[in-house]
Structure 1
C-alpha cells in the first residue's frame, strides 16, 4: 500500500460513522450516558465558577478553581490508571460515577441551605477531579473490549463529539439555568444527568483486565504505575503519540492570549475573546461530525503527524492575521486538526496496548491532556510578555512543526505504523 488510505473500501462516508452505536448496545448506552452526563458536568463547572465569583468578587479565586481541579487530576491520573488495570473496570466506573453524583447532590444541598462557602466549592471540585481521574481510565479501557478493532476510530470520533458538544452546550445551559433558577437547580440537573451514566455502567458486563499470558484476574496482584511507565518507555509508537500531542499543546496553545489579542488585534471586548475560545471548539465538533473518512485510514502514525502539523501551521497563520473572521477560520481549522489527531492517537493507544496496560496508559494520557495545555498557557504568556503576542503565537506554531519534524526523523517507524498490524 502506497497511500494513507486503503483503496479497497467501497463506502465513502462523509459524516461520522455510527456503526459502533448500531452494533454494540453496551457502547451505545455508554456513549449516550457519557454525552448526557458530560454536558451536566460542563454546566456545573460554569456554575461553580460563577458562585465562587459571587462569594469572593475575585477573579483570582475563580482561577484557583482550575488549580484545585488540575492538581488532583494529574496526581491521581496515573494511579487511577493503575487501579483500572487491577480491578473490575465496570465497578470502578460505576463507583466513581456514583461519587460524582453524590458531589453534585452535595453542591445542590449546600446551595439550598444557603451554605455559601468557597472552601466547600474548592473541596468539591478537587474530589470531582479525583473521581474523574478514576472514571476516565476505566471508561476508555472498556471501549476496545466492547468493539472490534476496525470500529475504534469511529468510536473515538463519536467520543470527540461528546466532549466538544458538552463543552459548547453545557456552559451555555449552565448560565441560563443559574440566571433563571439559581445554583441549586443547576447542580440538581447535573446529579440527574448522571443517572444515564450510572445506568450505562450498571448494564455493562464484568470488565476485569485480561492478561496476555491467560492468568486469571485473581492472579494479577498489584498493578504498578512504574510498570506502566516502563512499558511506555519500550513502545516508541505509543510514546510518539504523547510526544506529538505535547508538541502541539505546549508549544502552540494560544488560549491564554485570547483576552489580550481580542483588544489589541481586533479592538474587541469579552465577547470577541469568547468567539476566539469558541472557534477551536466549533472546528473540533465539525471534526467529529465529519469523521466518516477516518475509518478508511490505515497509516495512523502518518495521519497523526499530518494532523499535528496542520494544527501548528493553522496557529502560526492565525498569529499573522489581523482580520477577526479570518482568524476565527484558522482557529477552527486548528480545532478540526486537533480532533483528527486525537481520534488516531486514542485508537493507536487502544489497539496497540495489551488490555492489562490500557488503564495505566490512559492515566498517562489524562496527565498529558490536563497538563500540556496548562504548560502551553504559561509558555505563551511568558513569551508574549517578553516579545509580543504575535511572536508567541506564530513562533509557537512554527516551533510545533519543527519539533514534530525532528521527532518524526528520530522515530521514523511511527509514520509507517499500519492499523492492520498494530505495533506499540
Structure 2
C-alpha cells in the first residue's frame, strides 16, 4: 500500500523543488480565487453570458497567439530569468486588479484587458515551468514530481472556487485579487531559489525556431503519439458542455446534481494523484498513458448510459482518475524524450494541446448534441476516443515499450 501512495521522494531529496512546489501550490489557490472573482464581477456588471464567455477568450487567445513563440524564446534565453519575469508580471497584474479595493470596480473592458495581460505572462510562464523539473530531479523521480504538481493544481481546484465564493460574498472580489497577489509572492520566492538554467544549443530566432520545435514533435513518434492521444481524449470526448443537457434529461434538472458532476471528476483526479505511486513507479509511462486515456473514454461511455445519478457520478470519478493518470504519464513521456534545447517549444505545444483541446471538445459536443442528442454526442465521442487511442497504440510501438531511458 505504501508504494501505491503518491511519491513524496521528490520533496525530500530536493529542497529547491520543495520550495518551488509550495509556491506553485499557493499561487494555484490564489488563481482559483481570482477566477471566481473575475466571473462574479463580469456577471455583476453586465448580466451577460456573452461577457462571461469573453473571460475564457481573454485567457485562451494569448496562449494560442504567443504559445509557440514563447517556447522558442524559452529555448534561447536563460530560463530562470524568463521564469522570474513571468511571475513578476503576473504579480504586478494581480496587484493592479487588487487596486480595485481602493479605486472601486473598473469597467469590464479594463478588467478583461488585465486578464489578458496576466494570461500573456502565463503563456510564457507555463512552458518554462515545465522545463524546470528535469533540471531539479533525477530521471527516476520525474514522474513523481509531475504527480505532485498535478495534485497541487487539483487541490486548488477543489478548494479554491468554494473559498472564492465565500470571500466574494463576505468581503467582495477585491479581496480575492489581493490574496492572489500575495500568493504570487510565494511563487516568486520559489522561483528565486532555482539555479541558473542555461540552454547549451540555443534555438534559432523567430519562425525558424518555432518550425524546428514543430518538426521535432512531428518526427518523434513517441512525443507525437502522446500529444495525439491527449487530443483524442479531449477533442473527441470532452463532456462538460453536455452536463446541463444530460442533467435536465436524466436527473430532473437538479442544480445540485449538475454541480456534483464537475466535483466528481475533480475528486477522482485527486484520488488518482494520492495513489499515483501505483503508476509513476512502474517505469512504463507510455503504457500507463494509453490505459488512462482509454479508461477516460470507457468511463464516459458508461456515464452516458447510467440511469442512476450516483452511479453516473461514480463513473465520472473514474473518468477523472483516468484523466490524471493520462496527464501525468504524458508529461513524463514528453520530458523524458525531448532534448533540453527543445524542451521549451515542446512544452509550449503540450500546453496549447492541453488547454485548447478541451475547448474544442466542448464545442464539438455541443454541436453534435444540437444536431442529434446529448446521449449520441457523449457516447459517440467516448467510442471515438477509445478507437483513436487504440490506433495510436497500434501504430506507435515506442509507447508500448519501457520509455524511462536516456533522452533521444
Smaller-chain TM-score range?
Answer: over 0.9
| Structure 1 residues 21 and 41: alpha-carbon distance in aligned structure 2, compared to 1, 3 A threshold | same
Q: Which residue of 1 aligns with 2:367?
A: 382
* Whole-angstrom distance in 2 between the partners of 1:87 and 1:282: 39
Moved more, 42-51 or 121-130: 121-130
Q: Which residue of 2 aligns with 1:209?
A: 199
Indicate the RMSD between aligned Cα atoms, in angstroms: 1.5
- Residues 38-53 of structure 1: pairs in structure 2 closer than 5 A: 38-53=28-43
1:288 aligns with 2:281: no
- Tell me how far 1:111 sits from its aligned partner: 4.2
Q: Which residue of 2 aligns with 1:15?
A: 5
| 1:37 counterpart (4, 22, 27) | 27
Q: Which residue of 2 aligns with 1:251?
A: 236
- Tell me how far 1:296 sits from its aligned partner: 2.5
* Whole-angstrom distance in 2 between the partners of 1:277 and 1:198: 31
Q: Which residue of 1 aligns with 2:387?
A: 402
Q: Which residue of 1 aligns with 2:214?
A: 229
CA displacement, residues 377-424 of structure 1 (integer Å, 9 cap, x when unaligned): 01101111111111111111111011111222222332124313555x
Aligned positions, number: 406
Q: Which residue of 1 aligns with 2:316?
A: 331
| 1:392 counterpart (354, 359, 377) | 377
- Residues 4-403 of structure 1: pairs in structure 2 closer than 5 A: 13-211=3-201, 222=205, 224-403=209-388
- Tell me how far 1:12 sits from its aligned partner: 5.2
* Whole-angstrom distance in 1 between the partners of 2:142 and 2:92: 32
- Tell me how far 1:110 sits from its aligned partner: 2.8
**Structure 1 spans left out of the alignment, 5+ residues:** 1-10, 212-216
- Tell me how far 1:221 sits from its aligned partner: 5.5
- Tell me how far 1:26 sits from its aligned partner: 0.7
Q: Which residue of 2 aligns with 1:8?
A: none
* Alpha-carbon contact 2:238-2:365 (below 8 Å) kept: yes
* Alpha-carbon contact 2:336-2:405 (below 8 Å) kept: no
- Tell me how far 1:166 sits from its aligned partner: 1.1
* Alpha-carbon contact 1:37-1:194 (below 8 Å) kept: yes
- Tell me how far 1:210 sits from its aligned partner: 3.2
* Whole-angstrom distance in 1 between the partners of 2:45 and 2:251: 33
* Whole-angstrom distance in 2 between the partners of 1:331 and 1:221: 44
* Alpha-carbon contact 1:280-1:333 (below 8 Å) kept: yes
